[in-house]
Amino acid sequence: MSPRQDHRERTLVAPAICAGVGVHTGQRVRLAIRPAPTGTGIVFVRTDITDRDNRIVVSGDVVVDARLNTMIENGAGVRLSTIEHLMAAFCALGISNAVVEVDGPELPILDGSALPFVQLLDRAGFRRQEAPVRFIEILQPVHVTDGDKHAALYPCDRYEMRFEIDFATSVIGNQVIDFVVDEPTFRSDIMAARTFGFAHEVEALRRAGLARGGSLENAVVIDGDEILNPGGLRMEREFVRHKALDAIGDLYVLGAPLLGRYEGYKAGHAVNNQLVRALLAAPGAWREVVLEPELARVG
């Protein structure tokens, strides 16, 4: 992302607490995001599990399922689903260290976007920490392809993103967004974009044990060439903006913001995680860097 001028890690001033329903499980959960010391990273804790290790330290290799959300799992088999919207908020707001306690198997979906998480974090407040932010600098292109879907990372001196989607329905069609991933742009153009789905898929998803908590309150639902939500869309190209939001969250499992350009075409959570794993498997394609303020201002 466009690096902050002080390039220091951030955590919260006070705990941020909310409750809501998981979009896939339909289960009501309570969420508490707590400040954490430098070097902690992002750690999720399943407080409803007490018989084994209930902490999941986020990294690129703890993602175990990425069909319709990003699910993580620790070595004790403890899982947590749908972390991507909160992770996107953490990335855009520069949160390096936080402990996230949740008393169920899935984070609350809230309104289907990152907006409620950003509001929650804003109310808690931000605290600058002394450790410098580590960035993941992309040195060589990394590509992954899955059928007609693909994603790639390229060298760039800031965090940029281009996303393109293409759907048969005229409600969506072909949409492209190309932007710098920084806090002002995230707040103005990305964070309020909601997840979306198709009415004809809902029943099949529910038979598969998914989308049990999905509703017009937390998703844009499309039926043929019609949007079922009474209020319609929140913004132009809301669909591709949400896919970009997901990608920001999916890539932040790397544990640091990028200095690089992401390009995705029809990519979802699964392709994004393939890209994360491909990057980690190519040590020559990236390095960790710390930027000093005077260096960041050059150019």
Name the residue among 166, 176, 189 with its Cα closest to residue 245.
Answer: 189
**SS3 call for 36:** coil
Beta bridge mates, 265? 150, 164
Name the residue among 43, 70, 71 with its Cα closest to residue 57.
Answer: 43
Name the residue among 247, 283, 172 with its Cα closest to residue 1.
Answer: 247
The number of beta carbons lying within 10 Å of the beta carbon of residue 138 is: 22
**SS3 call for 202:** helix
DSSP H helices, the chain, are 84-93, 115-124, 183-185, 199-207, 238-251, 269-280, 293-297
| 150 flagged as catalytic | no
Residue length, the chain? 299
Catalytic residue among 7, 24, 242, 269: 269
* Tokens describing residue 100: 């996230």
**Please, how many CA atoms are within 13 Å of residue 179, restricted to the half-sphere of its CB?**
21
**Please, how many CA atoms are within 13 Å of residue 216, restricted to the half-sphere of its CB?**
10
What residues are labeled active site?
269
